[in-house]
């Protein structure tokens, strides 16, 4: 039995929590060309409602090599999000950590969808963060999914997103999403995801 399978089995027996870290492509190491010939990071896309407001794409990281996700919101707000949805439901503890540099302000969102892939009428959003200092800065955002009915159905999948505000030019790198899932004996963990067992605390007499 491999290590991941062992952790899932142990978590199931203990009804413990497991940390799931889906692959977002958040190191932006894989890029491709869009229809216009611009480099874009694999697994990410522009929200077309904000298409006219500026530019986005994979930009070279001269300091560390590879690429980062670059967004220039010249004429208005821009949203960029993952093209793939990730399984999550009401009450799931989600957090996103990232590195950011540039000037301006942004938010981190979770776009929320139901079983059929349709939007459930509400999203989860973090606070506005303003970047003023030079260089890469580490940020972490707790984004728990409310344990409540959403206007158009139950949340079953999420897509992490960035909102970059008008006048901002920012780069993002090393984006990691962590979800804490309560495992039960009848449940299995999502396939092909990085798991870490969170054991309950030991109580001493």
Q: pLDDT tens digits for 139-184? A: 999 999 999 989 999 999 999 999 999 999 999 999 999 999 776 5
State whether residue 50 is helix, strand or coil.
Answer: helix
Q: What pTM was computed for the model?
A: 0.80
- pLDDT-based confidence at residue 205 (cuts at 50, 70, 90): very low
Res. 189: pLDDT tops 60 = no
- pLDDT-based confidence at residue 204 (cuts at 50, 70, 90): very low
Q: Are 166 and 73 in contact (CB under 8 A)?
A: yes
Q: What pLDDT digit, counting tens, does each position of 93-138 carry?
A: 999 999 999 999 999 999 999 999 999 999 999 999 999 999 999 9
Q: Are 55 and 168 in contact (CB under 8 A)?
A: no
């Amino acid at each position: 039995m491999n290590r991941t399978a062992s952790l899932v089995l142990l978590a199931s027996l203990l009804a413990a929590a497991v940390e799931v870290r889906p692959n977002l492509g958040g190191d932006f190491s894989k890029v491709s060309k869009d229809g216009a010939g611009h480099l874009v990071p694999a697994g990410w896309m522009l929200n077309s409602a904000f298409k006219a407001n500026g530019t986005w794409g994979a930009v070279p990281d001269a300091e560390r090599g590879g690429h980062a996700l670059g967004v220039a919101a010249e004429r208005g707000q821009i949203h960029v999000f993952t093209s793939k949805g990730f399984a999550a439901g009401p009450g799931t503890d989600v957090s996103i950590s990232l590195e950011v540099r540039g000037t301006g302000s942004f938010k981190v969102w979770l776009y929320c969808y139901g079983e059929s892939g349709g939007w459930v009428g509400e999203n989860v959003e973090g606070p506005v963060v303003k970047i003023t200092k030079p260089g890469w800065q580490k940020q972490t955002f707790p984004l728990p999914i409310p344990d409540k009915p959403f206007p158009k159905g139950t949340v079953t999948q999420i897509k992490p997103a960035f909102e970059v505000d008008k006048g901002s030019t920012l780069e993002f790198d090393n984006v990691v999403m962590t979800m804490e899932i309560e495992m039960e004996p009848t449940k299995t963990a999502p396939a092909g995801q990085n798991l870490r067992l969170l054991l309950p605390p030991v109580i001493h007499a």
